[in-house]
């Protein structure tokens, strides 16, 4: 039975691991931290899995636990941040697809996202993942109206960086 549960869990996580990796990209700045956070997310998901009854989709449930881990449960390890990791490990922008200005704007926006606070990062992440306001409010535990208000503020903040 436990073996069965384990197999089910790993198969699910293997299929949906992108969700966790994307969260790690937003919340960490180097590959080691990325791996640490991914590891903690995996542990938290596994610990909570026996309570996952399949009423929700695995992915929906995973968004919640993984974000909770990144925002609240994970304790950052102290390490010296190697600045060169930032560009090489994260957000590879394919320059051949964009003209120079668009590429520059994307770089600015990704850099700006890194500067946001933990809650704003969660909002941007859920926005980029095309979650609707109902899902966003349920994941974060705030009202839909407030999710909307705050999201607009974050969007304006990001836009103002490229159009000062």
Q: Could you say whether residue 78 binds another protein (CB under 8 A)?
A: no
State the DSSP H helix or E strand holding residue 81, giving kind and residue range, or none if neither: none
For the chain, the distance separating the N- and C-terminal CA atoms, rounded to the nearest angstrom, is 58
21 near another protein, judged by CB under 8 A: yes
Alpha-carbon torsion (130, 102, 21, 12), positive or negative: positive
Which one of residues 4, 14, 55, 96 is an interface residue with another protein (CB under 8 A)?
Answer: 14
List CB contacts of 62: < 8 A, sequence separation 6 or more. Answer: 13, 16, 19, 20, 45
Nearest to another protein of 84, 99 (CB atom): 99
* Inter-residue contact 125 to 133 (CB < 8 Å): no
Read off the tokens for 21: 């990796």
69 touches another protein by CB under 8 A: yes
Name the site residues for another protein (rule: CB under 8 A): 6, 9-11, 13-14, 17-18, 21-22, 25, 34, 38-40, 42-44, 46-48, 51-52, 61, 64-65, 67-69, 71-75, 77, 91-94, 97, 102, 105-106, 109, 117-120, 122, 127-128, 130, 138-143, 146-147, 149-150, 155, 158-159, 162-163
């Amino acid at each position: 039975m436990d073996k069965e549960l384990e197999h089910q869990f790993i198969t699910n996580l293997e299929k949906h691991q992108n969700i966790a990796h994307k969260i790690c990209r937003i919340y960490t700045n180097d590959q080691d931290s990325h791996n640490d956070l991914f590891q903690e997310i995996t542990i938290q998901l596994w610990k909570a899995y026996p309570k996952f009854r399949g009423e929700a989709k695995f992915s929906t449930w995973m968004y919640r636990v993984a974000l909770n881990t990144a925002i609240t449960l994970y304790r950052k390890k102290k390490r010296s941040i190697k600045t060169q990791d930032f560009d090489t490990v994260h957000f590879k922008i394919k320059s051949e697809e964009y003209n120079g200005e668009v590429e520059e704007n994307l770089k600015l926006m990704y850099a700006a996202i890194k500067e946001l606070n933990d809650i704003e990062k969660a909002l941007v992440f859920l926005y980029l993942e095309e979650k609707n306001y109902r899902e966003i409010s349920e994941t974060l535990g705030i009202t839909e109206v407030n999710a909307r208000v705050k999201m607009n503020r974050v969007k304006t903040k990001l836009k103002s960086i490229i159009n000062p």
